[in-house]
Structure 1
Amino acid sequence: MSQPSTLPPAHSEEINVAFPANHVLLLTLNRPKSLNAMTPRMTADLERILDWFETESQLWVVIVTGAGRIFCAGADLKAWNDDQQRGDTNEQKRIAVDMHGFGSISRRQSIKPMIAAVVGGAYGGGMEILLNCDLVIASEGAKFALPEVKRGVVAVQGGIPRLARIAGHQLASEMLLLGRTIDAADAKTRFGFVNDVVPASKVLPVALATAAQIIANSPDAVQSTKECLLLAQRHADLQDVVTRHAGSVPSTRVYKGVNIKEGLKAFTEKRTPVWTNPAKL
């Protein structure tokens, strides 16, 4: 199994880092007694590790999961209450300048695929994290909620626009305005933000199998495709998206790189292609 060319950044015990397969980074939120509620230290760890992941050419996919019985329960409300009672009024400014959002994931615009492996469910910011992942594998009976309005706060870390785009206004309103909890079956069939529902013991294996399917494809083509998906979120006009994508750096890397030659040659020779790590952008 190939390893990254450099070591991951130093991090606390609140995040477990592993490399379970070639080209795959596995990040486990590791505060199971607190239902993996996000802390500033956990956020800082995730930011450093994911920024490193973006530049590590041997890593093509990241899987995010949680230790214990819940993927992530969102923000640490006790700590949030302490801040509010002290009169902290800087939260709006912090949100506005934070490029990556809750847990350094909920608004991160990565061109590398991100998979959420969700056991038990996700709430609040944890839900906002998985809404920004490209693929979501959930356990049977998992629960999902954006209950912020029940606590006098708002799902401002990217959850509102992402859910509205995925589910549509009316279904998104069920979760956002009512604070309603839904189960994994509804998350897949009605709301559309879960790709697969499996027994809890199968969540991580299925996530790894999904990552393997991605890795079987050209990493140049995958990352350029992800760039186009991100552009489609930002721009409504189809021609505008196509034009911007055609001129993008990831697109240039596809057509000027070695993997396009390998993919086409392997097709004509009726063999499996052997991909090369993408050139650094």
Structure 2
Amino acid sequence: MNLSSQVPPHSDQLKVEFPLEHVLLLTLNRPDRLNAVSRQLNSDLTSVLRWFDEEPRLWIVVITGQGRAFCAGADLNVWQQDQMQGRITEQESVASSLHGFAAISRRHTSYKPIIAAVNGSAYGGGVELVLNCDVVIASEDAVFALPEVKRGVLAVQGVIPRLAKAAGHQLASEMLLLGNPVSAVQARDRFRFVNAVVEPSNVLSTALDVARQITLNSPDSVQSTKEGLMLAQKHHFEEAVRTHSLSLVSKRLYNGENVKEGLAAFVEKRRPTWRNPSKL
């Protein structure tokens, strides 16, 4: 069955494509607002990513932005209107959000890799989104900033603990407390949350090539490995190892067809043919 026909309804603020087998490409499509996340775009991302998590034929998602920015974070104009009209507070919104900003920044229930193709600037929530991706490819001219302190608000959707782990306390403090922008090279070499910096024209193709390389591996192994990485962020060493070894994702791996295929392919000196993972 064609994947395109199965995509949940969504607005034109989100472009949904399938550039490679097993790969979903999502493009934030509000270039006139630097891809700031509106309520509609957040709703689109929530429903499409929920479907992605459940679709066994899709193994990896790549996120990028349309135009000259990756994502400018939250739409502050809407935020101000909500404040003026006494709508739900940011505290309540954060506390009630299952997956965080743009349905990605605190996404803990998906074991499928997320790749960010940062084609331009990322601000605020855009950086929060990036920090929860598994691989980050950035344009040479990309800029990353957490300017919340300059706006009287707070970066609270998951970036503080993640950045502290990636960069260490002092460098995380520099980025969070000053609110100043950092270059893609600084994000890679000093703050350590970017994997590769490439020419602007090569951002998406590089991200898709990384996705292609991952699809050459067993999807059961990839998803169980990602679960292990996620558990490492939550637990101490022994608890993380024990919880991972006894999880449903690990059970699926050890009892599935792909482990048999991988070992047989090694013995027979051939390339393995992977099957879609079964639903948990």
Q: C-alpha displacement at 1:25, in angstroms?
A: 0.2
Segments of 5+ residues of structure 2 without an aligned counterpart are none
Aligned residue type for 1:81: Q
Q: Distance in 1 between matches of 2:223 and 2:5?
A: 21
Counterpart for residue 64 of structure 2:
65
- State whether residues 3 and 22 of structure 1, in contact with CA within 8 Å, keep that contact through their aligned partners in structure 2: no
Distance 1:11 1:82, change over 3 A: same
- State whether residues 107 and 157 of structure 1, in contact with CA within 8 Å, keep that contact through their aligned partners in structure 2: yes
Q: TM-score, normalised by structure 2?
A: 0.97
Q: C-alpha displacement at 1:136, in angstroms?
A: 0.3
Distance 1:176 1:85, change over 3 A: same
Q: Distance in 1 between matches of 2:128 and 2:52?
A: 20
Q: Does 1:141 align with 2:141?
A: yes
Q: Distance in 1 between matches of 2:230 and 2:200?
A: 30
Alignment identity in percent? 59
The 5 A counterparts of 1:1-281 are 3-4=2-3, 7-88=6-87, 90-109=89-108, 110-235=110-235, 237-281=236-280
Q: Deviations 1:196-232 (Å, cap 9, x if unpaired)?
A: 0001110000001000111000000000000111101
SS in 1 for 2:61: strand
Distance 1:46 1:89, change over 3 A: closer
- State whether residues 116 and 136 of structure 1, in contact with CA within 8 Å, keep that contact through their aligned partners in structure 2: yes
SS in 2 for 1:71: strand
Segments of 5+ residues of structure 1 without an aligned counterpart are none
- State whether residues 5 and 56 of structure 1, in contact with CA within 8 Å, keep that contact through their aligned partners in structure 2: no
Q: C-alpha displacement at 1:94, in angstroms?
A: 1.8
Q: C-alpha displacement at 1:162, in angstroms?
A: 1.0
Which stretches of structure 1, 4 residues or longer, exceed 4 Å deviation after superposition? none
Q: TM-score, normalised by structure 1?
A: 0.97
Q: Deviations 1:143-197 (Å, cap 9, x if unpaired)?
A: 0000000000000111111111111110001110010210000000111100000
Aligned length, in residue pairs: 279
Q: C-alpha displacement at 1:88, in angstroms?
A: 3.4
Q: Aligned-residue CA RMSD in angstroms?
A: 1.2
Q: Distance in 1 between matches of 2:262 and 2:5?
A: 28
Q: Distance in 2 between matches of 1:133 and 1:139?
A: 16
Q: C-alpha displacement at 1:87, in angstroms?
A: 3.0
Aligned residue type for 1:39: S
Q: Distance in 2 between matches of 1:136 and 1:121?
A: 13
